[in-house]
Every structure is written in structure tokens, then in C-alpha cells.
Structure 1
């Protein structure tokens, strides 16, 4: 039996994935988490075979969780799930010996195969789309969530409106904007949108 934790900040997606995984006879989703902090709390009391982590979560990203695990001698296998597929993330994840990196729209049967390959056979699994971008060296510093936030900002949405649309708190959105401005070297949101559009990041 493969005991796993599933972490994703989108409640509906997390619930659907848990239901799908639990249909497999040799899978058991021990617990779910919506934030990186909840993952770290679960690791204090659970012994797991695999962590399936969203790359972008509030209160510690998936990569930050893995960094904490390695620093604290926790070597559970990790499969990253994301809607974002830039080479930069793959490189960072691989440096921390992440065993898998798949897109969230990966078909359920392929996800199940990936889980078994990682846990039973010790293989590293990467989505073909991600491998292609990795080989091509395509770089975009913005995460999928950051791109979505910038697109909403371009449409004139306020912080509160973006928070509602993204199912996040206004404080989290402000944190995202701070990170976006830093990545793009922008002074404000308007400039960030301009730079992102010019460089075809969004």
C-alpha cells in the first residue's frame, strides 16, 4: 500500500484527485493539505511513502517544503504537480532530488503509473511537455499563478477582486505582487504588466 499526502490549494481539484487516487487498490491518501504549512504539520505526525505537492501553495511553496524536508533529513519521495512547466522550476526541483514533475492535466492513468514508477521502481518521472521545455531552455520567471494575477491586473481588477477570483486572501495577493515586481524589476503593477507583455511572459 502506497501511503501518500496530497497538497493543492485548490479545494475542488484536490478533492477530485484524492477521490481518483483512492480508487486505486494499492493507494491510500493519508491526508490532504491546502498550504505548505499544513504539509509541514502533517510531516510531524505521519510516515509517508510519497508526497504529491502543488508547486505553488500559500505559506511555503512545494519547493520550499522539499527544501525543509531535505534539511531535516526527511527523504519521502516527492511528485510535483503544476500547471506551470518552465525549465527553471524543473532545474530547481531536480537539484533537490524531486522524483517526479507532472502537469496537473496529466490523465489519471498516467498519474497512477507515475506514482508506482516512483515508489516501486525508484524512477524519475517528468511530463514530456516539461522535458521539451527543459531541453529547449525556455525560461519564464513567472509562475502560472503570477501570470494569472498579472492578467487580472491588466484588466483593471483590484487586489480584493483578484483575491476573490483566485480564491486567495488579499494579503496573499499582495505577497504575489511583491514577488512579481522583484522578478521583473518593476516599480509598480502597471510597469510589471508592461514588462511581462513585452517579453511575452503573459
Structure 2
């Protein structure tokens, strides 16, 4: 029996996925949860064989959760399948760097997901065909770690002064990082830079 935990913040999709998987005689859904923190708690407690993780979950996103699982000395054996609505190369590259076992688009047929669960349990890696080409067109992230930090805080709604206090930088330094990020991303504003970085999966 393949023991599965599903972490997906969209209630309807999560419920439908759980219901469909329950028809499979070799798959048992141990739990279904709506955010990354709940997923982490239930994964630690139940130690599933396969974790199906949405990327854009509240509190802890799917990629952050995958990293935590991989680094845990007890849980690192769990197979990880990332599911996402977004064909963002940055997300895919992060997932590959984490050596996840599957990376699937949500519009794949349910049979494809079910077969993917079985394949990863047999040691195979599964990637949606529509995403495979992205691996050969890797776009390097031009942003420095500091620029990413500043853009991430901007995305969270912090002002220049608040970012300055949070990162213990002068306001001028924060503005310089923002200006540099805007230039690298060929954006016209900090918000547009944030949107571009999110779209490419760099935030």
C-alpha cells in the first residue's frame, strides 16, 4: 500500500483529488491539509511514502516544505511530487535542485498523477511533458541574494524604511538594491520588478 499525504490549499481540488485516489486499491490517503505548516506536522507524525505538495501554499510553500523533508534524517526517504498551476522555469529549476521525484501541472489527467505516484515509488522521476522543455532553456536568476531579500519584503508590502529596519541597512542602500533589481529585470517600477521575479519563480 502506498501511503500518501496531500497538501493543497484549494479545498475543492484537494477534496476531488482525495476522493479519486481512494478508488485505487494500492493507494491510501493518510491526510489532506490546506497549508504547508499543517502538512509538515502531519508528515512528521504519519511518515508517508509520497507527499503531494502544491507550490503556492500558505505559511510554508511546497518548495520550502520539500527542502525540509529532504533535510530531515527520518523523512528524507519520502517521495515528493510537486503539483502546480504555473509553468514557471524558476520553480522547476528549484524543484530539480531539490531533487524532487515528480513535478506535474494541475491540468494533467488524474490517471497521469496516479501513474506518477506508482512510478516515483519505483524510483523513477516524472515531469509533465509540457515542462520538460524548460529544463533545456534554463534562465539564470540575475538577482543577488540581497536584491531577492529586498524584493521579497517589497512583495510583502514593506516600505523602504521598514525594509531598512528589517535588514539593518540604510534607506539609501535599500533604494540602491531596489534600483539594481529593477534595472536587471528591465522593469519600470519596484512593483513590476516584483511581478517579474514572481512570474519567473525567483521569489
Same fold, TM-score > 0.5, yes or no? yes
Hey, which bits of structure 1, 4+ residues long, moved more than 2 A? 136-141, 174-179, 181-186, 190-199
Q: In 2, are the aligned partners of 1:36 and 1:57 still within 8 Å (CA)? A: yes
Cα distance in structure 2, aligned partners of 1:15 and 1:191: 40
Corresponding position of 1:113: 115
Corresponding position of 2:51: 51
TM-score (norm 2): 0.70
**How far has the Cα of 1:123 moved from its partner?**
0.1
| Greater mean deviation of Cα atoms: 190-199 or 123-132 | 190-199
Aligned positions of 1:30-179 closer than 5 A: 30-73=30-73, 74-75=75-76, 76-119=78-121, 121-137=122-138, 177-178=155-156
Q: In 1, are the aligned partners of 2:155 and 2:194 still within 8 Å (CA)? A: no
Cα distance in structure 2, aligned partners of 1:26 and 1:67: 27
Cα distance in structure 2, aligned partners of 1:53 and 1:116: 16
Deviations 1:64-96 (A, max 9, x none): 111111222222000000011222222211222
Q: Give the 3 Å change call, closer, same or farther, for CA 177–117 of structure 1 in structure 2.
A: same
Cα distance in structure 2, aligned partners of 1:42 and 1:88: 28
Unaligned runs of 5+ in 1: 142-173
Cα distance in structure 2, aligned partners of 1:23 and 1:113: 13
**How far has the Cα of 1:177 moved from its partner?**
2.9
Number of corresponding residues: 165
CA RMSD of aligned residues (A): 3.2
Query: 178, 189, 195: which one pairs with 1:191?
Result: 189
Aligned positions of 1:23-34 closer than 5 A: 23-34=23-34
Q: Which of structures 1 and 2 has the bigger CA Rg?
A: 2
**How far has the Cα of 1:195 moved from its partner?**
5.1
Cα distance in structure 2, aligned partners of 1:139 and 1:14: 33
Q: Give the 3 Å change call, closer, same or farther, for CA 194–62 of structure 1 in structure 2.
A: closer
Corresponding position of 1:163: none
Cα distance in structure 1, aligned partners of 2:29 and 2:153: 31
**How far has the Cα of 1:140 moved from its partner?**
9.1
**How far has the Cα of 1:178 moved from its partner?**
2.4
Q: Give the 3 Å change call, closer, same or farther, for CA 178–198 of structure 1 in structure 2.
A: closer
Unaligned runs of 5+ in 2: 143-151, 160-176, 183-187
Deviations 1:86-108 (A, max 9, x none): 22222211222200000011101
Q: In 1, are the aligned partners of 2:55 and 2:82 still within 8 Å (CA)? A: yes
Cα distance in structure 2, aligned partners of 1:40 and 1:104: 21
